[in-house]
Amino acid sequence: MKSIADGLPPEIAAQIHSDWGKNEAAYWDARETLLDQYMGRWIAFSNGRVLASDRRPAVVYHAAHESGEHPFVTCVGREREGFRMRRATFAYDTEYDGEALPVLSLEFRTSSGVPGVVLDRVIADTGSDATALPWADCRTLQLDPHEGIPAIMSGVAGGAATSLGFFLWVWLDGQERGCQVQADFSGTERLLGRDVLNAFDVLFRGPSREIVINP
C-alpha cells in the first residue's frame, strides 16, 4: 500500500516522524478487524490500538496531538477520500466595490493560552471540512513537519492533494477554539473551515459586506 506521505514534497516527506509511518502500515494490517466497529468514524491509530474515535476529525486530531505518539489518523472505510475543500478558483480585485469576499483576521496559536500570529484575509468558507493555510503561513507559525499528520485534501471539482494536518487554536471574538489546520503546499488562500465556524454563530451580512460573529 502506497503511503500517503509519498504525495508530499520530498523535502517535507523526509521530515515525517518515523513512528507515523509505522502506525500507517500497522493500520492497514489491522484494517479488516476495525471495519465493523469504526466504519465511517475518524480514528487515531497508534501502537496497534485505537487512541481516539469520533465523527468529527478535529476531535481526533486534538487527541492525536495530545498523545505525542504520532498516530495515523483516518476515516475508516474512506481512507482515500480526504477532506473536502472548496477549491473553486476565482479572480477578484481587493479594491473592487462589487461582490464582497467574506474574510476575517484571526490569531492562530500553536499552544493554548499563548498569544500567536495574526493572519488577515482568512476566507470564511462553509464549504470546507477543515481549515487550510498555505505552507508559507505554516512556516511563519513554525510548524514542524516532524509533528504533522499526512492527510488528503480533495476539491469539489475533483482532484486531490496531500497535506499535513496540525492541531492549533484560534482566538476569535474573545474565545479560543481548537482548529484542525491542513497545510496547503500548492494554494495561496487562507480558508477557515467548518471545524471552527461550527463553534460560533456566524451571520453573513451580504448587503452590508460584513461578517458578524456571535451577533
Is residue 92 domain-resident?
no
Of the listed ranges 99-108, 115-124, 151-160, the least confidently predicted one is 151-160
Strands 42-46 and 49-54: antiparallel
Beta bridge partners of 49: 46
What percent of the chain stands above pLDDT 70? 92
Helix (H, G, I), strand (E, B) or coil at 141: coil
Look at residue 160 in the predicted model and tell me its pLDDT: 83
Q: Residue 194 sits in which domain range?
A: 103-213
**Average pLDDT for 120-137:** 92
Q: Establish if 85 belongs to a structural domain.
A: no
Closest to 42 (Cα-Cα) out of 142, 129, 126: 129
Q: Residue 1: inside a domain, yes or no?
A: no
Quickly tell me which residue has 483576521 as its cell: 105
Q: Name the domain count of the chain.
A: 2
**Does residue 2 sit within a domain?**
no
Q: What share of the chain is helix, strand, coil (3-state, %, to 5)?
A: 25, 35, 40
Q: What is the pLDDT of residues 74-102, one digit of tens each?
A: 999 999 887 877 543 333 334 435 566 78
More confident residue, 27 or 156: 27
Q: Assess if residue 93 is contained within a domain.
A: no
Q: Is residue 71 part of a domain?
A: yes
